[in-house]
Amino acid sequence: MSSLRVGCICNPDAARNRQALSKVRPVLSEMSNAIYAETTSTKDYASILCADLIESLDLLILSGGDGTLQQGMSALLASKAARLPKLALLPAGSTNVAATDLGGGQGLVEAVSGLAKQLPNVVTVPKQPLLIRASESDPPLVGFFLGIGAAPAAVARYRRIRRPVRGLPLLDAAASVVAIGGTILEIGIKGEAFPHVVSGEMRVDGEPTRIETASLVLVTCLDGLFKGVTPWWGQGDAAIKYLQIGLGAPSLLKHMSGILRGKPDASVMKSPLYASGGAGRMVLSRVANFTIDGELFRMSAGQARLTIDAGPKIDFVRLA
């Protein structure tokens, strides 16, 4: 048994957990000498992760997809705990962008086994998640990547495509590729007719960008979204990276490959309809629909002003 005080929250309905829960549940529960809980409800996180429990933990394991991690991290910071534990993100969902970025490119069973072998001497890397607020009076939504415009359209398309293949990891992953690729084609082909647009102003550290109406805004604190996909440049050492593509951006399909690799053509960098860089704070006005770590959010009041900050540094376990 590890000398660390370890807790685990597992989403048994996450795609990879459904396939391998009988194998990983015994290992996770054995590692979790403080608390082991399974939940599929977003309402449970706040009640499970109270400040007293959080402050008592040395390590918290979150086993689920990107949505599970977003909900867990939001509950952690909303608790106002004076001390946060190390976090281990296990790639147990259909999309596991954050876990992969933190070194978890292997399968779920291998990741759980590797984490068990690391204890108690885990290797960590500090990361700052995004703090996303639609109101100063509400606790922030906490996540690693936010998308507006085409991103919610891609997520909605992915959910439609994946219904018949839900629970089959390889086909589930293929559905995400088809959804993203289809949305990129829609932007490039429809151009100004593309319905999912961002018409509000975007400010980066107080300064407005040149783009007034965008088809895509992407904001992240991760190094990469998928393997080899790093669609930003000019960010320096800023915690927040962003990409903004203006509506009707020229030759989008032609330049998409370079943009996705963070190596755009010189004409893209000169164009007023492409913007990328780094920030400490971003503000987007008149936002209706957006995604955080693949989860869809719709503003009940119609539109909102989103403020995005880099959150506190958290030590995340680097999975071997």
pLDDT tens figures, 212-264: 888 888 899 998 887 668 889 999 889 999 999 888 888 887 888 898 889 99
Residue pair 308/284 in contact by the 8 Å Cβ criterion: yes
Confidence grade of residue 35 (pLDDT, cut at 50, 70, 90): very high
What's the confidence (pLDDT) of residue 16?
86
What's the confidence (pLDDT) of residue 267?
92
Residue pair 37/121 in contact by the 8 Å Cβ criterion: no
Average pLDDT rounded to a whole number, residues 108-121: 90
What's the confidence (pLDDT) of residue 299?
73
pLDDT at residue 318 greater than cutoff 50: yes
Query: What's the number of CA atoms in the CB half-sphere (13 Å) around residue 289?
Result: 16
Determine if the peptide bond prior to 129 is cis (ω within 30°): no
CATH 3.40.50.10330 domain position(s) in the chain:
6-127+313-317
pLDDT at residue 269 greater than cutoff 50: yes
What's the confidence (pLDDT) of residue 283?
94
Cα 231 from Cα 208, distance rounded (Å): 20
What's the confidence (pLDDT) of residue 106?
78
What's the confidence (pLDDT) of residue 174?
56
Average pLDDT rounded to a whole number, residues 268-279: 92
Least confident of 103-112, 162-171, 217-226, 300-309: 162-171
Confidence grade of residue 33 (pLDDT, cut at 50, 70, 90): very high
Question: What region does 66 belong to: left with phi over 0, alpha with psi -120 to 50, or beta?
Answer: alpha
Average pLDDT rounded to a whole number, residues 143-162: 74
Least confident of 16-20, 248-252, 305-309: 248-252
pLDDT at residue 68 greater than cutoff 90: no
What's the confidence (pLDDT) of residue 192?
45
What's the confidence (pLDDT) of residue 319?
82
DSSP helix/strand/coil, 237:
coil
Confidence grade of residue 296 (pLDDT, cut at 50, 70, 90): confident
Q: What Å distances lie between residue 2 and 21, 31, 52, 117, CA to CA? A: 22, 7, 21, 10
In the structure encoding, which two tokens stand for residue 103, read together?
């070194």
DSSP helix/strand/coil, 141:
strand
Instruction: Give 131 or 179, the one with higher predicted confidence.
Output: 131
pLDDT at residue 53 greater than cutoff 80: yes
Confidence grade of residue 15 (pLDDT, cut at 50, 70, 90): confident
Instruction: Give 123 or 296, the one with higher predicted confidence.
Output: 123
pLDDT at residue 152 greater than cutoff 60: yes
User: How high does pLDDT run on average in the chain?
Assistant: 83
CATH level 3 topology of 6-127+313-317? Rossmann fold (3.40.50)
Percent of the chain with pLDDT over 70: 83
Q: What angle do CA 29, 35, 36 make, to 5 degrees?
A: 40
pLDDT at residue 140 greater than cutoff 80: yes
What's the confidence (pLDDT) of residue 294?
77
